[in-house]
Chain A
């Protein structure tokens, strides 16, 4: 079945460091891929998405490219800020599916 495997955390970085959080998926057909972010004490918010191969989603300086050949959707940011400290979830919606499959989440802490 459909599934998402996400980089284990937690991840601690200094401010202005480069961020990569790995995400790979298993799915038939052509899934849509998402990154959600959860700030402390809040619900999840959509960060970015990509709906077909080679699409690049971007938002707030974060980027992720839908790579069908490697079944990956890694999240990157060139220079993280303290305010980026949160839990990041990779998610997948299979072709024709009515639900999302989420990864286990990666906690990012950015220190000044």
Chain B
């Protein structure tokens, strides 16, 4: 079991560029989510999905898109990167909607210049 994997580990973008952060899990979990971690702010939920074909917004969704075409993959897209999106991004998955145990990926560190 690889658990939750994220790519890339690091990325530098220029303002206005687009990119996709990849997330995959091999535990057959229905629930997946994206968080961003900023200094002094803890983790904030961006988007989440309760199953293939179903996504919903979290606390800070603006500037981000997601889709869930398979159970395994949950990519996060930045359509036009802004400096305010400089952050560390974590993907997580859970076996149940109760989130009794969430498994986190190692994170993607993004710098937008």
Binding site for B on A (CB under 8 A): 4, 6, 32, 41-46, 49, 51, 89, 93, 98-100, 102-105
Assembled-state Cα–Cα distance A4/B44 (Å): 12
A51 touches B100 (CB 8 A): yes
| Residues on A with beta carbons closer than 8 Å to the beta carbon of B102 | 44, 46, 100
A99 touches B99 (CB 8 A): yes
Q: Interface size (B, Cβ < 8 Å)?
A: 27
Count of A-B contacts with CB under 8 A?
55
A43 touches B50 (CB 8 A): no
Assembled-state Cα–Cα distance A42/B35 (Å): 14
- 15 A-B pairs within 8 Å (CB atoms) are namely A6-B42, A41-B106, A43-B92, A44-B90, A44-B92, A89-B43, A93-B98, A98-B50, A98-B97, A99-B48, A99-B58, A99-B99, A102-B42, A104-B40, A105-B42
B94 → chain A, closest Cβ, in Å? 9
| Residues on A with beta carbons closer than 8 Å to the beta carbon of B58 | 99
0/1 string, B77-113, CB within 8 A of A gives 1:
0000000000000101000011111101111000000
B26 → chain A, closest Cβ, in Å? 15
A42 → chain B, closest Cβ, in Å? 6
Task: Say whether chain B's binding surface is mostly helix, strand, loop, or mixed.
Answer: strand
A93 touches B42 (CB 8 A): no
B99 touches A100 (CB 8 A): yes
A95 → chain B, closest Cβ, in Å? 11
Assembled-state Cα–Cα distance A45/B92 (Å): 10
9 smallest beta-carbon distances between A and B, as pairs:
A43-B104, A102-B42, A102-B43, A104-B42, A44-B104, A99-B45, A43-B106, A93-B99, A43-B105
